[in-house]
Amino acid sequence: MPYCKNQTSLFYVPSSTNDKSFELKEWGWSAFLAFEEAMANAVRMNAITAECSWNCSRAIGAASLSQQADGLQGFYAYNFKLYLAPQESNTASLPTLPEGLTPERLVVGYLRRLTDFIVQQLRASINNNLSKEDIQFCLTVPAIWDENAKQTMRCYAEKAGMVNGRHCPRGISASRWPLHIILEPEAASAYCQDNAPLSLTLKTGDRILVTDIGGGTIDLVVHEVVECHANIGPTKVKEVVPSYGSVGGGSFVDVSFFELIEEKVGCFRQYSRSVNPWLPLLLFQWWQKVKTDFDGSPHFHANYGLMNSGLTEAWKKHDQDNGINREDRFYWQLSFDSHDFKRIFDPEVEKVIGLIDKHIKGIKLLMVVGGFAASPYVKKSLMDRFANRVKRILIPMEPGRAICRGAVRLYTRRTFIQARISKKTYAIHAVRDARRDDPRHLLFIGEQGKLKCAKALAIFVRAEEEVRVGRSKREIFIPSRQGMKLMKFNLYSCLRSDPKYTTDEDVQWEGSFEIDISNGMILGTKRKIRVTMLFGDSLITVTASPMNFGNREHQESLVVSFERGIQVCASITSGE
């Protein structure tokens, strides 16, 4: 395969012990090859039913997450990381998974195989006695992922045995170093600035827009140079606007390719269903090679021969049945001209251009990375649109490798990112004294006879606020009642900077945790709990610790991970 990285795909086969379950057989490109072999065997053995045949082959054509070949041949899962993208931006069609397979199982299974592969490679190249415990793992994630998705990925890494943690299976050897999660456009920024041409001189105050165009997501970040050294370039940067983006990229171009085939050949879907389910797979392989050559030239064209596919006769008959008569040679091949290629590429290219255009004003350097950035047509389109609006456009020779290499640089240069802009307001539910403008239905009389507000928010950071890496915000909380033995903290978020109450329409619950306060019962409502939020890293870290009760000499702050959605909410002292 021409792409420089392993593919995010898995191939499952039916379990030998349970009729309704699947076992992971291969991962990465090996999964694709195993799927291809299973499809070929199914065609030869006529083992796929009509409807499922199409679904199985369409997994490639539509780049959908996964499809099943009648349960007899296997299940191919592809691009399943899109399940972690924010739902409001995820326009991809994600089909229902079969019984026993969940997004969690897919991601954990992939990370487990990836971890084992990394250990094997390091042992072979460095030291055969190397242990997983000795490895610092870093995972790159799209910038469009919200806090929940990043926390979910950390949880999945623990379940996969990559790193130690409360989700790591017992008895499994895992890294003793905490997982480091890196935002992909930030990794790209570190890589590109290290590899920027010496002819391009950057200085403090210059702004850089980094665009990562991958297979399933488009991520952008705008950095301003904070510190710069001669012959070295930028050594410190800060975020100017919140990182942003969308789902999109190379996989969506593959979708458009097959949609165009269905438009050209009216019987393509039915023929693939009932006669030759292997044909879309062969077309996909051909397309992966051809699309990398398209440069936008008006004379560009490509043909796929159909003489041995059986589609020729079916296509001709379909047209004749619909009153269309053409020469026989018309049906010998599928022809694509430059106009066809532009129809396939332009929706995604225009999506990228539109996202860049949002913040291109004042940018000196535009950097573009990711597998889709290797396309000659993408490069030409970006040059045509932005060459006169920035001083320089930089696209590495191998843009697909920039994220991985940049992540290593970013981990070893922890001070490179100085500050980020918070995408959301983060706050904790609090009961406080009533204020004049509080809604009456949120008020109640407390134990001391004071009027209280039951649904207030204690804000730690506001949306659009600059947060320096390593900066923390602390708040002191006390029990609302004398006899409380547990204090429950609920974290909320909001895209606005000024939410007031947990009941506001656009305020979203993120998760919760509890802390045991039974050691200080004698203090009643005077017990104090310090809650600290550490912002600026790619993850939010929350710690909670007693201040005036308990064994404070040996009391350590307890790290809280907020988990919701497809995970079970966690607490500090007991599961909820």
Does the structure show a pLDDT above 60 at 313? Answer: yes
Confidence of residue 72 (pLDDT cuts 50, 70, 90): low
Distances (CA, A) of 547 to 46, 475, 530, 555, 561: 70, 12, 7, 9, 21
In a domain, 79, yes or no: yes
Tokens of 119: 């250990």
- From 446, 451, 442, 513, select the one nearest 479 (Cα to Cα): 446
Q: What is the pLDDT of residue 476?
A: 93
Question: Is 354 found in the same domain as 212?
Answer: yes
Mean pLDDT, range 232-254, rounded to an integer: 91
Q: What is the pLDDT of residue 552?
A: 55
Rounded Cα–Cα distance for residues 517 and 50 (Å): 62
Lowest mean pLDDT among 36-40, 49-53, 515-519: 49-53
In a domain, 572, yes or no: no
Q: What is the pLDDT of residue 97?
A: 80
Query: Can you give the CATH number for the domain in which 459 is found?
Result: 2.60.34
Confidence of residue 320 (pLDDT cuts 50, 70, 90): very high
In a domain, 1, yes or no: no
Higher per-residue confidence, 457 vs 554:
457
Does the structure show a pLDDT above 90 at 43? Answer: no
Higher per-residue confidence, 281 vs 393:
393
Question: Is 165 found in the same domain as 139?
Answer: yes
Confidence of residue 41 (pLDDT cuts 50, 70, 90): confident
Average pLDDT, the chain: 85
- The last residue of a domain, from among 367, 397, 419: 419
Mean pLDDT, range 512-529, rounded to an integer: 88
Question: Is 404 found in the same domain as 262?
Answer: yes
Rounded Cα–Cα distance for residues 221 and 355 (Å): 10
Question: Is 310 found in the same domain as 194?
Answer: yes
Q: What is the pLDDT of residue 445?
A: 94
Mean pLDDT, range 268-291, rounded to an integer: 89
Higher per-residue confidence, 281 vs 440:
440
Beta strand pairing call for 180-183 and 138-141: parallel
Rounded Cα–Cα distance for residues 350 and 355 (Å): 9
Does the structure show a pLDDT above 90 at 90? Answer: no
- The last residue of a domain, from among 382, 397, 419: 419
Tokens of 255: 């979708």
Does the structure show a pLDDT above 70 at 575? Answer: no
- The last residue of a domain, from among 173, 207, 227: 173
Question: Is 458 found in the same domain as 399?
Answer: no
Question: Is 88 found in the same domain as 124?
Answer: yes
- From 345, 393, 334, select the one nearest 372 (Cα to Cα): 345
Q: What is the pLDDT of residue 87?
A: 67
Confidence of residue 37 (pLDDT cuts 50, 70, 90): confident
In a domain, 575, yes or no: no
Question: Do you know the residue count of the chain?
Answer: 576
Distance of CA 148 to the CA centre of its chain: 11
Question: Is 130 found in the same domain as 27?
Answer: yes
Query: Can you give the CATH number for the domain in which 278 is found?
Result: 3.30.420.40
Does the structure show a pLDDT above 80 at 424? Answer: yes
Question: Is 299 found in the same domain as 262?
Answer: yes
- From 79, 57, 81, select the one nearest 68 (Cα to Cα): 57
Instruction: Name the domain count of the chain.
Output: 3
In a domain, 42, yes or no: yes
Mean pLDDT, range 264-271, rounded to an integer: 93
Q: What is the pLDDT of residue 45?
A: 67
Does the structure show a pLDDT above 70 at 562? Answer: no
Q: What is the pLDDT of residue 156?
A: 95
**How many C-beta atoms surround the C-beta of residue 5 within 10 A?**
15
Q: Structure pTM?
A: 0.84
Q: What is the pLDDT of residues 470-496, one digit of tens each?
A: 888 999 999 988 899 988 899 999 999
By CB neighbour count within 10 A (0-12 exposed, 13-18 middle, 19+ buried), where does 491 fall? buried
Confidence of residue 450 (pLDDT cuts 50, 70, 90): very high
In a domain, 101, yes or no: yes
Confidence of residue 201 (pLDDT cuts 50, 70, 90): confident
Does the structure show a pLDDT above 90 at 400? Answer: no
Question: Is 467 found in the same domain as 392?
Answer: no
Question: Is 210 found in the same domain as 140?
Answer: no
Question: Is 377 found in the same domain as 273?
Answer: yes
Lowest mean pLDDT among 9-13, 90-94, 115-119, 176-180: 90-94
Does the structure show a pLDDT above 90 at 369? Answer: yes
In a domain, 205, yes or no: yes
Q: What is the pLDDT of residue 163?
A: 95
In a domain, 342, yes or no: yes
Higher per-residue confidence, 145 vs 568:
145
Question: Is 407 found in the same domain as 275?
Answer: yes
Structural domain span for residue 327 = 179-419
Does the structure show a pLDDT above 80 at 437? Answer: yes
